[in-house]
A and B are shown apart, each in its own frame.
Chain A
Amino acid sequence: MERIEAIASRLEDEELDLDTALALFEEGVAELRAASAFLTQAETRLKQLNEDADGLFRIDDLRD
Chain B
Amino acid sequence: MYVEESIPGATPGSAVSVMALTATARDVLEGAFMPLWVRGEVSDFKAHRNGHWYFCLRGEDAQLKCVAWSRERRRIPAPPDDGMQVVALGRLTVYPARGEMQFSVTRMEAEGDGLWRKALELTRARLQADGLLDPSRKRVLPRYPRRIAVITSRDGAALRDIYAVAQRRCPSVEIVLVPAAVQGDSAPESLCFALDQVARWGDADLVIIGRGGGAREDLWAFNDERVARALATCPVPTISAVGHEIDMSICDLVADLRAPTPSAAAEAAVPVQSELRERLRMSAETLSALAAERLASARTRTDDRYRGLVLGAARRVERRRLQLESSGRRLHALSPLATLDRGYAILRAVDGRTVRSIDGLHPGTRVEVVLRDGTAAATVDRAVPNGQSTSAPAVAGTES
Given contacts A8-B283, A26-B320, A32-B283, contact A39 B273 (CB under 8 A): yes
Interchain nearest-CB distance for A57 vs B (Å):
5
Q: Which residues of B contact A26 (CB under 8 A)?
A: 316, 320
Q: Which residues of B contact A48 (CB under 8 A)?
A: 154, 176-179
B7 at the interface (CB under 8 A from A): no
Interchain nearest-CB distance for B104 vs A (Å):
42
- Are the CB atoms of B336 and A32 closer together than 8 Å? yes
- Are the CB atoms of A41 and B172 closer together than 8 Å? yes
Q: Which residues of B contact A25 (CB under 8 A)?
A: 287, 290-291, 294
Interchain nearest-CB distance for A40 vs B (Å):
7
Those of A14-64 within 8 Å (CB) of chain B = 18-19, 21-22, 25-26, 28-29, 32-33, 35-49, 51, 55, 57, 59, 62, 64
Q: Which residues of B contact A4 (CB under 8 A)?
A: 280, 283, 287
The 8 Å CB contact of A49, one of B146, B178, B277, is: B178
Give A44 to B154 CA distance when docked, in angstroms: 17
Interchain nearest-CB distance for A36 vs B (Å):
5
Which chain A residue lies CB-closest to B283? A4
Give A18 to B303 CA distance when docked, in angstroms: 14
- Are the CB atoms of B324 and A33 closer together than 8 Å? yes
- Are the CB atoms of B177 and A21 closer together than 8 Å? no
Q: Which residues of A contact B2 (CB under 8 A)?
A: none
Those of B83-136 within 8 Å (CB) of chain A = none
Chain B interface (Cβ < 8 Å from any Cβ of A): 142-144, 146, 149, 154, 160, 163, 166-167, 171-179, 197-198, 200-201, 203, 273, 276-277, 279-280, 283-284, 286-287, 290-291, 294, 298, 306, 309, 313, 316, 320, 324, 327, 330-331, 334-337
